[in-house]
Chain A
Amino acid sequence: MRVLMVCSGGMSSAIVVKALKQEAEKQGLEMEIKAVGTSEFSEEVGRDYNYALVAPQVKHRYNEYKKAADQANVPCEMIPPRGYTPIGAPSLIKQIKEGAK
């Protein structure tokens, strides 16, 4: 499963991605997760992803991301604020499992 995460500069999402990878490994899930900044998202989402996640601090850009993701036929959802922390990884994995195509 391939998951794309977008935040503002791709820095803070890298922290969450690291926690997600650990959690996925713990649960024995095959999961590839990539974090990108705002300007890269629309191109990157076209590269065969199963799911896209939008960090809470860029929620004002959600519609723009959603449009790009829809074009690429990738389900795209917001990360709830509390999920956007290293300890939010288990709930985020659950969200990914339910939302990914």
Chain B
Amino acid sequence: MMEKFLQWLEEKFMPPMARLAEQRHLRAVRDGVISTLPLIIIGSFFIIIAQPPIPFLAELVAPYVGDIMIPYRLTVGLMSVYAAYGMGYSLAKSYSLDGVSGGVLSLATFLMMNIPLNVDGIMEEAAGAGIEGAEAMGWVLPMGNLGGAGMFTAILSMVVAVEVLRFMKKKKITLTMPEQVPESVARSFEALFPAGVVIILTWVVRVMLGLDVNAMLMSVFAPLVDLSGNNYFGVMLPVLLITLLWAAGIHGVSVIGSVMRPAWLIMLDANVAAVADGASMSYGDGGVPYIAPEPFYQWLVWVGGSGATLALALLLVVSKSTYLKQVGKFSLVPGIFNINEPMIFGAPIVMNPILGIPFIIAPVVTTTISYFAVQLGIVNGFTVMAPWTLPAPIGAWMATGGSIAAVILVLINIAIALVIYYPFFKVYEKKMIAEEQADTATV
């Protein structure tokens, strides 16, 4: 039966999922969003400096929290600005258009969806009332919709800007430069008419018609973000899809992440923003608003890589089968750093009717436990994006702003995965030993 199921996975389930992830605009979202991750990893770390887990240090830095959080505000707090450029660049590249032009047009379209303000009048009044530091500052751009809250607007801006660029280039509605003009200069002029179109278009929509595109998009997508961040089944869905894709042999996180990562980043930004505004680090009222941004899966569920395979690596190392022991030996160290492809293809887990079962079940169980642990406030929510190649206990500790409970939960999850993998491992080991003995017998 499991064989039939795996066959169905490979032939019916995987192709449409893979096609979806390879859709051109989603690919641009994936690559554009990934390009912002270094900034988000570094930026989110400042929350640990601002809110160190040791009370003594916390008191010490308390007066400087505002200053410490500035790198966060200009990285995570502006993530949609960076993403707008990165996605526009990637989409333009995928059409073999000039990447920089696509990125700049996309960024301009995105910024045009925000309205700058002049608060000099209020500032002067405040200064008159004796408020320290109040002074005229010229025009300011509110940052509220430039972070996670602007992600869907950034995606829409990227599509509009680059499609306009492509359409006008195709129809040859471009300013053509004489041949003597250097190529890079000529290319920048190619974007002149498309820039005029997108800027006038966004100006009419946002300013003249007064349509708050960001608010409209958020009213549509916010319920979906809530569903995937705070609903048990919504949190479970990516786990199932990712393990099923891996069981069929393709990189589940890469496929599902294309679609989910914007939502995961919105959740992370909302969580950090809440803590920066004085919320506690645990989930719920007065705490962080989302249970499951990406680090939730990374540290609590994918211990050792997708499928919670560190447990299996531990079992393989002590296997009595020569082959499996060998696989365990080369899988354990990468597994500690959450790289498990050598084991997935070596053991193999892919299309394996025995090991495929715990590969799906173990993460389902650990996700369930982890979900409730965070929901009930036993473990802190996630506010930091730590690099995914850190060993899980360290990553979990960092990502939760120093929650010891999170480290203990990681160890519990490894133990649970061990128990779930064990009987299947035993069955598979027996089969492998029988094959190995048959081999030596014939030699």
Q: Is the CB of B348 within 8 A of A82?
A: yes
Closest-by-CB residue of B relative to A11 is B339
Q: Which residues of A contact B254 (CB under 8 A)?
A: 8-9, 38, 57-58
For window 311-353 of B, CB contacts with A under 8 Å fall at 326-327, 330, 334, 339-346, 348, 350
> In this assembly, does A4 line the interface, its C-beta being within 8 Å of a C-beta of chain B?
no
Closest-by-CB residue of A relative to B340 is A12
* Min distance, Cβ B9 to any Cβ of chain A, angstroms: 13
> In this assembly, does A55 line the interface, its C-beta being within 8 Å of a C-beta of chain B?
yes
> In this assembly, does B174 line the interface, its C-beta being within 8 Å of a C-beta of chain A?
no
Q: Is the CB of B350 within 8 A of A81?
A: yes
* Min distance, Cβ A50 to any Cβ of chain B, angstroms: 24
Interface centre among A38, A60, A61, A64 (most CB of B within 10 A): A60
Please, could you name 20 A-B residue pairs with CB atoms under 8 Å apart, sorted by A?
A: A7-B251, A15-B342, A56-B350, A57-B250, A57-B251, A57-B254, A57-B344, A59-B249, A60-B15, A61-B18, A82-B345, A82-B348, A85-B327, A85-B342, A85-B345, A86-B342, A87-B326, A87-B330, A88-B345, A88-B346
Q: Is the CB of B22 within 8 A of A15?
A: no
> In this assembly, does B310 line the interface, its C-beta being within 8 Å of a C-beta of chain A?
no
Interface residue from B34, B327, B342, B348 paired with A12 (Cβ < 8 Å): B342
Bound Cα distance from A86 to B332, whole angstroms: 12
Interface residues on A, range: 20 to 34
Q: Is the CB of B326 within 8 A of A11?
A: no
Q: Is the CB of B31 within 8 A of A39?
A: yes
Bound Cα distance from A83 to B192, whole angstroms: 50
Q: Which residues of B contact A88 (CB under 8 A)?
A: 345-346
> In this assembly, does A3 line the interface, its C-beta being within 8 Å of a C-beta of chain B?
no
Bound Cα distance from A85 to B330, whole angstroms: 8
Given A38-B254, A60-B255, 6 new contacts (CB under 8 A) = A8-B253, A56-B350, A57-B344, A57-B345, A60-B250, A85-B343
